[in-house]
C-alpha cells in the first residue's frame, strides 16, 4: 500500500488520536460492541487480569506477545488495554498506535498487510499517518503472526525504546526464537478457551450433565459460550468468521485447502493419535503436505497431536459450514478427541 493508504487505515483504527473521539470511540468500536452483545464475563475478567499491568500505564522498552486461538478474545483484550491507556490523562493518546495487520473483506475472506507495509508503519510511523509525539510509543501489532519478518520489526521498535504488544493466532517456534534472540526479555502470555470445568464453575446452578452436553456443542470460545447461552446455539456469523480466520492461519491463502475438509478428515481418521498417512489418503495429499498442515494447526493453537482438536466447536465446524456434506460427529467422539 502507498503511505497515504496506510495513513487512512491507521486513522480509522486509532480514533483516539482525534480530540473529539478520545472518550467516545469505545462506544462504537466494532470488536467491543460485538463483545457487549454476547459477553462471557469470566473470559473478559481472565483477559483483563492477564494484561492488567499493560493497562496500568505505558511500559517503554518491553515486548509482550499475546497468543491464543482464533476467537479467544485477543483483539478485544488489547483494545481494553488501549481504552485504559488513552483514558488516563497522564498518557498522550497520540503515543498509542494500533496496527490492524489483518482485516476481513466484504466477501468474508481474510487479508493482511504485506511485510513491507508493516515495516514501514512501525519504522517510520509519522510517514504513515501516526501523529508526532515526544514520548516512546505504545505499538499494538494486532494479528501479526503470519506476516514474514514480524519479529525483526517488533525488535526494531523495542530497540528504539517503544513498548510493543503483539497479538497472534499463529505462533511459529522459529518466529518466537527469532524474537527472543533480539529481545531476550520478551514475554508470551496465552489466552485459552474455557475448559468444561471452568464453565461448570461459572454456572454453579447448572447440572453437570446438561453443562457437559452443551459444552460439547459450543466449546469454550468466549463468544460461542455467550451465543449458546443467549441464542441457544452458535450463530452463523461467528461460524463464518471463525472458518475464514482458520483458513488464513492454516492454508495461508493456498488453494485446494478447504478448512472444513481438513477438520472433517481429522475427525474421520483420528484414532488414539493423529495419523498423517491416513489423513493424507483422506485428503489426497502427500504425507509431506499433510505434515505441513498439521504443523500449522499446532502453531495456530488448534491441535494437540496426541489429544486431538483443542476445542469441541472445531469438531462441529464442518457440519455447521456445510451440513449437506458433513454430518456432525457424536458427542462421544468429541469428548474423546478434544484436548
Q: How far is CA 161 from CA 60, 140, 216, 277, in A?
A: 6, 14, 46, 49
Contact in structure between 267 and 333 (CB atoms under 8 Å): yes
CA dihedral defined by 321, 323, 326, 331, rounded to 10 degrees?
A: 90
E strand or H helix that includes residue 260: helix 259-269
Query: What is the Cα–Cα distance from 186 to 62, expressed in whole angstroms?
Result: 7
Residue 158, H or E segment:
helix 150-160
Per-residue pLDDT of the chain (339 residues; tens, 9 = 90+): 889 999 999 999 999 999 899 889 999 999 999 999 999 999 999 999 999 999 999 999 999 999 999 999 999 999 999 999 999 999 999 999 999 999 887 777 888 999 999 999 999 999 999 999 889 999 999 999 999 999 999 999 999 999 999 999 999 999 999 999 999 999 999 999 999 899 988 877 767 888 899 999 999 999 999 999 999 999 999 999 999 999 999 988 676 677 888 888 888 777 667 778 888 888 888 889 888 888 999 999 998 877 778 899 999 999 999 999 998 888 888 888 776
Pick the closest to residue 61 from 151, 168, 135, 171 (CA basis).
135
SS3 303: strand
Residue 204's SS3 state is coil
Q: How many helices (H) and strands (E) does the chain have?
A: 18, 9
Cell of 71: 476467537
Cα(317)–Cα(73) distance, integer angstroms: 19
264-268: long-range pairs with CB below 8 Å, 24+: 264/318, 264/326, 266/303, 266/309, 267/309, 267/315, 267/318, 267/329, 267/333, 267/337
Amino acid at each position: 500500500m502507498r503511505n497515504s493508504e496506510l495513513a487512512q487505515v491507521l486513522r480509522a483504527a486509532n480514533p483516539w488520536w482525534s480530540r473529539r473521539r478520545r472518550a467516545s470511540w469505545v462506544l462504537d468500536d466494532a470488536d467491543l460492541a460485538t463483545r457487549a452483545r454476547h459477553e462471557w464475563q469470566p473470559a473478559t475478567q481472565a483477559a483483563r487480569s492477564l494484561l492488567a499491568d499493560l493497562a496500568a500505564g505505558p511500559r517503554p522498552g518491553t515486548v509482550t506477545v499475546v497468543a491464543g486461538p482464533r476467537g479467544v478474545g485477543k483483539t478485544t483484550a488489547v483494545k481494553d488495554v488501549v481504552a485504559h491507556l488513552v483514558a488516563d490523562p497522564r498518557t498522550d493518546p497520540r503515543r498509542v498506535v494500533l496496527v490492524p495487520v489483518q482485516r476481513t473483506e466484504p466477501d468474508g475472506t481474510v487479508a493482511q498487510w504485506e511485510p513491507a507495509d508493516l515495516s514501514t508503519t512501525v519504522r517510520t510511523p509519522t510517514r504513515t499517518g501516526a501523529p508526532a509525539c515526544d514520548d516512546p510509543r505504545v505499538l499494538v501489532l494486532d494479528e501479526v503472526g503470519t506476516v514474514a519478518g514480524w519479529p525483526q520489526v517488533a525488535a526494531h521498535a523495542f530497540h528504539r525504546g517503544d513498548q510493543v504488544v503483539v497479538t497472534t493466532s499463529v505462533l511459529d517456534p522459529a518466529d518466537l526464537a527469532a524474537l527472543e534472540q533480539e529481545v531476550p526479555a520478551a514475554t508470551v502470555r496465552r489466552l485459552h478457551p474455557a475448559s468444561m470445568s471452568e464453565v461448570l464453575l461459572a454456572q454453579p446452578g447448572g447440572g453437570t450433565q446438561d453443562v457437559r452436553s452443551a459444552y460439547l456443542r459450543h466449546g469454550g470460545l468466549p463468544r460461542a459460550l455467550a451465543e449458546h447461552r443467549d441464542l441457544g446455539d452458535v450463530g452463523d456469523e461467528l461460524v463464518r468468521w471463525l472458518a475464514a480466520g482458520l483458513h488464513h492461519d492454516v492454508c495461508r491463502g493456498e488453494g485446494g485447502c478447504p478448512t472444513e475438509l481438513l477438520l472433517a478428515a481429522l475427525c474421520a481418521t483420528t484414532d488414539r493419535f493423529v495419523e498423517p498417512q491416513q489423513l493424507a489418503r483422506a485428503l489426497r495429499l502427500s504425507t509431506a503436505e499433510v505434515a505441513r498442515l498439521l504443523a500449522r494447526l499446532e502453531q495456530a493453537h488448534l491441535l494437540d497431536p496426541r489429544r486431538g482438536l483443542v476445542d469441541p466447536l472445531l469438531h462441529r465446524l464442518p457440519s455447521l459450514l456445510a451440513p449437506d456434506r458433513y454430518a456432525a460427529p457424536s458427542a462421544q467422539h468429541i469428548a474423546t478427541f478434544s484436548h
